[in-house]
Chains A and B, each alone.
Chain A
Amino acid sequence: MKRRALLGAIGSGSALGIAGCLTRDDGGDEEGDGTLTVVTYESMIDTEDSAGPWLKERFEDEFDAELEWEQLPDGGINHYVQRADRDAGIDADVYLGLNVDDLVRVDDQLEDGALFRELDDDRLERADRVRDEFALGDPHGRTLTYDMGYISLVYDETEVAEPASLEALTEPEYEDALLAQNAQKADSGQAFLLWTIDAFGEDGYLDYWQRLEDNGVRVLDGWSESYSGAYMEGERSMVVSYSTDQVYANRFDYDFSRHQVAFPDDQGYANPEGMAIFEGAGDADLAYDFFDFVLSSEAQAEIATRNVQYPAVADEHVDLDEEFDEYAHTPEEMVSFGYDDLQGNLDGWVEDWAQEFAGQ
């Protein structure tokens, strides 16, 4: 009996090895088949209260179409850059959740203006609702911003005072206080790094970080490790995080003293998120319909409340509930790098910064 099991297992093993599968590209989606495939990050569809299911239901009702969510693969934008590079075919029609650096990466690796279509504003009714300052600054006009978030500091007011400026973080008062994230990996970490580059310049930011390091800054892996791990277990008194922190603290009954939001120098780094249509999209009309739908007042409010992000449209086009107004804080001044600032610079900035810490 045991022997038979062994032989059977060997048989299935070898079958596995050769049972590859031959496929042939059939040319992708048919034109106008009424299905829109949208790829997006997991917190849009798979975490608590995600906006994704609501968007799908409403969009399908309103446009008599089908919306298919596709979870963004592990490599993020790189996954699609590689697919395009290797002619491996892209099934999705729309990418929801693009950052500026994603566009820079696309153009560096493929060619200028690649992967996504240039948007035709005439086919969009609500494109002009988006605040100008939230645009990603893509010279090829491929994206439309649908929401955004501010990076700020979250601190414990029982342990430290609100830091007035980035410079203050290097002072003894904030010794061993700050948790940040690895800019090589985490969006929040990269945003904070870019904020310091904006403040101290290309020539001064490494010196600033040297002083931060001397003052005991800890750079952990991602946002979850530093926030859900270290900060929430009382490890340190300050963490680089999102300015909507108190919305969560309120929803889950946490003590507000450890959820104070600080905007050093009255600034916060803004991370607008955009949507774009893949070059090979089957049903572009439906994609434009989707964009208009996402920018509608109702959808903007739902995305803001469920994902706890700021709407992209001007105030008169969206009604937010009181919870959001009360607990989501906005800096007086936003800092943000556009496409032109990042292109050709970003990789070098991050690498120089990372080498300051590692391999010593």
Chain B
Amino acid sequence: MSLADRLVVDRRSAGAASAWLERRALSLAALGTAAVLVVVLYLPVGLVFVEALLEDGSPTLGHVAEVVTDPFYFGVLADVFAEPLAIGDHLGALVGWLGGISIAVTLASPVPGLDLPVPWLAVDLPPVRKGLFGFTAYQAALSTVASVAIGLPAAYILANYEFRGRRTLRSLTILPFVLPGIMVAVGFYAMFGRTGTLNTLLGAVGLGPFAFVETSPLAIVILAHAFYNAPLVARLTVSAWESVDARTVETARSLGASPRRAFRDVVVPQLVPAVLTGALLTFIFTFMTFPIVLALGGLQLATVEVWIYDRVQRLAYGEAASLAILETVLSLGLTYAYLRYESARAGLSQAPSPPPREALFPDVRTALSPRRLAILGYGLVALVLFVGPLASLVVGSFTDGSGFTLRNYAFLLERQLEGASFQTRPVPAIRNSLLFGLATLAVAVPMGVVISVLTVRAGRSGRLVDTLAMLPLAVSGVVFGIGLLQGLVFGIPLPGGWRFQVTGAVAIVAAHAVAAYPFVTRNVSPLLATLDPAMVESARALGASRTRALLDVELPLVASGIVAGAAFAFAVSIGEFSSTVILASGSEHYTMPVAVERYLGRRSGPAIAMGTLLLAVTAASFVVVDRVGGRYEL
């Protein structure tokens, strides 16, 4: 063979290899995703869940049955679960309850501190024992309503108006997402406490002080949940709004639809999936809320997760796992119901051509229009609710008993320069957080995309897989942590004295990716579902492999979803605490939230300074991430 011939053969076999790889890329990626999920999610969680279903080695439903028939957990429903067939009794109890309702017209003064009598329809419901699950669902539902109500106006403004700093503001909506629970609690007290920032400001104009936190602990907890989740709803909705095809609106208008009608019939249907996704995620997160309810509200507002934590502390895994399984079943059930709805709506569209943005305050006259004033009012609310706690936190990091101080930052600097090897230093924490964030991005984005691609057109079985893919969000954080500890840190014993262990940076990134990929999937799937399958089919008919069609046709069309999901993936990684602290234990792999927790001593100053650093680093990275990502969006 001549040299030239050999080169041709080589090139051909290289070409064949890459073609082989390209043909199978999707299957390989799916395999990789499955492997990560098995090792870092199914195995650890399964290890704990199985405790609920075993009693001395034999299968049982005893633990679960005990939980669902306990009135402490399920309130009045416990009786129904205990004797499901005694329908007559249950109906009798219901009728008795209905009979106890009384309605009366009275006068009430609903505004606290203002003696303004208003006719009021007093509905007196006999008390119902909600139980721990009932209360948990109740506060989650209220939190979801509040988060959507507060998040939607933000989305509307960010998507429809142009103003200085809009892009930066849009980037910064991620900030609450990464803040450790203790920082949110301290921030809320620093803002809304009796001697907090808000009362200080109001006092300057002769008002107050008001007992914002004391008046209704439930309301403050719901606001704290909205602090976390309204930005989530807003982000999801903004990215949907920006991919609305403005030409469809123009068509509707040219056919005689009023602006209101065009909005209702053309724009709203394209936003609903994003809003509902936000609501679903908010409900699931707040259903499994843990530190924040007790930090701000108190033990009366305890949720299921609080009891799971307690049972794990007592090493009562059977009960902890039963509670966790019920949480998961409920969350996945809701997810499935939502996905059915989402797929039923999937229509065909659309090359995104976002509607043009109006200037927010072009001139004084427009600025005084009712709509602009409403936006201004909302801005004020957002300023108090979102900027307030964050700013109060930053101020707190510069304050001690004597007023302004740099002591807390001096501590960070000193620790960085002189800290011993066994101590936590700020710079490695920052570096680790950023590296893990980038690595998470690189792993979670393909994972999420692969799951979207495989499930979007697979009908009912796809929906099932898609539902299961949400598992990371639907599993109790406490249980996930214990599973990681027992499964990956302690290791699985193998014959011959070997142990299978996964720890260190690899385990941390994998755990972060597992927590993060559902955000990618939920951002990408709805967009992928609306693509016209004919486009992929034409590409395939013209000889493109499935992978090539995905890369060249589908992904560019859903780029905005990928970018939105990637931003969340990065944020999830930066903010993750509970599994990081377990996997980083005894190593140099600590992150910023872990450092915050470790600096928390009898004085919170150093921890708050570290929290401020966390905020600054995250804010800077997101401005960068969104700028870079923004190039791919349009």
Contacts and interface: CB of A to CB of B under 8 A. Distances in A.
Interface string B492-523: 01101111111100100110010000000000
A24 B306 contact: no
Contacts of A81: 315
Interface string A10-27: 111111111111111100
Given A13-B32, A46-B599, A78-B313, A358 B299 contact: yes
Contact of A74 (B72, B135, B581): B581
B33 A46 contact: no
Interface stretch (B140-148, B351-359, B438-446, B460-468): B438-446
A2 B25 CA distance: 14
B443 A176 contact: no
Chain A interface residue bracket vs B = 35 or more
Contacts of B34: 17
Interface in A78-95: 78-79, 81-83, 86-88
B423 A45 contact: yes
Interface in B182-196: 182, 185-186, 188-190, 193-196
A23 B498 contact: yes
B422 A71 contact: yes
Contacts of B450: 10
B606 A18 contact: no
B607 to A, nearest CB: 8
Contacts of B496: 24
A354 interface: yes
Interface in B261-319: 291, 294-296, 298-302, 306-307, 309-310, 312-315
A22 B500 contact: yes
A94 to B, nearest CB: 14
Contact of A22 (B40, B186, B312, B498): B498
Given A255-B401, A354-B302, A10 B497 contact: no
Given A16-B509, A221-B294, A354-B299, A10 B411 contact: no
Given A10-B29, A252-B401, A228 B604 contact: yes
Contacts of B510: 16-17
Interface stretch (B3-11, B360-368, B374-382, B483-491): B483-491
B132 A358 contact: yes
B259 to A, nearest CB: 39
Contact of A185 (B21, B309, B599): B309
Contacts of B417: none
Contacts of A19: 502, 506
B151 interface: no
A176 B509 contact: no
Interface string B419-439: 010111000000000000000
Contacts of A252: 400-402, 407, 603, 605
Nearest to B407: A252
A347 to B, nearest CB: 6
Kindly name the residue among A53, A71, A242 whose own CB sees the greatest number of chain B CB atoms within 10 A.
Answer: A71
A185 B309 CA distance: 9
B447 interface: yes
A229 B295 contact: yes
A165 interface: no
Interface stretch (A197-205, A230-238, A270-278): A230-238
Contact of B196 (A221, A234, A355, A360): A234
Contacts of A345: none
Contact of A23 (B36, B310, B446, B501): B501
B214 A176 contact: yes
A355 B302 CA distance: 10
B353 to A, nearest CB: 22
B129 interface: yes
B213 to A, nearest CB: 6
B621 to A, nearest CB: 19
B585 interface: yes
B252 interface: no
A184 B309 contact: yes
Interface in A236-264: 236, 242, 248-249, 252-255
B604 A88 contact: no
Contact of A9 (B217, B407, B445, B599): B445
Kindly name the residue among A25, A47, A83, A88 whose own CB sees the greatest number of chain B CB atoms within 10 A.
Answer: A47
Nearest to B445: A9
Contacts of B624: none
A82 B486 contact: yes
Nearest to A25: B497
Contacts of A207: none
Interface string A54-72: 0010000000000011110
A71 B585 contact: yes
Interface string B190-227: 10011110000000000000000110010000000000
Contacts of A360: 129-130, 135, 300
A248 B603 contact: yes
B194 to A, nearest CB: 4
B50 interface: no
Contacts of A109: 315
Nearest to A216: B214
A278 B17 CA distance: 57
A9 B446 contact: yes
Nearest to A75: B485
Given A17-B36, A185-B310, 13 more contacts: A3-B551, A16-B443, A24-B496, A25-B499, A71-B598, A176-B214, A219-B300, A229-B295, A233-B193, A235-B194, A235-B214, A358-B299, A360-B129
22 contacts: A9-B443, A9-B446, A13-B442, A20-B500, A20-B501, A21-B503, A46-B599, A105-B315, A109-B315, A220-B294, A220-B298, A221-B291, A224-B600, A225-B294, A228-B603, A229-B186, A233-B194, A233-B195, A234-B195, A253-B400, A255-B401, A359-B132
Interface of A: 2-3, 6-25, 42-43, 45-48, 50, 52-53, 56, 68-71, 73-75, 78-79, 81-83, 86-88, 105, 109, 176, 182, 184-185, 218-222, 224-225, 228-230, 232-236, 242, 248-249, 252-255, 308, 347, 354-355, 357-360
User: Across chains A and B, which 7 residue pairs bring their CB atoms closest together, nearest first?
Assistant: A14-B32, A233-B193, A17-B35, A234-B195, A47-B601, A254-B401, A221-B294
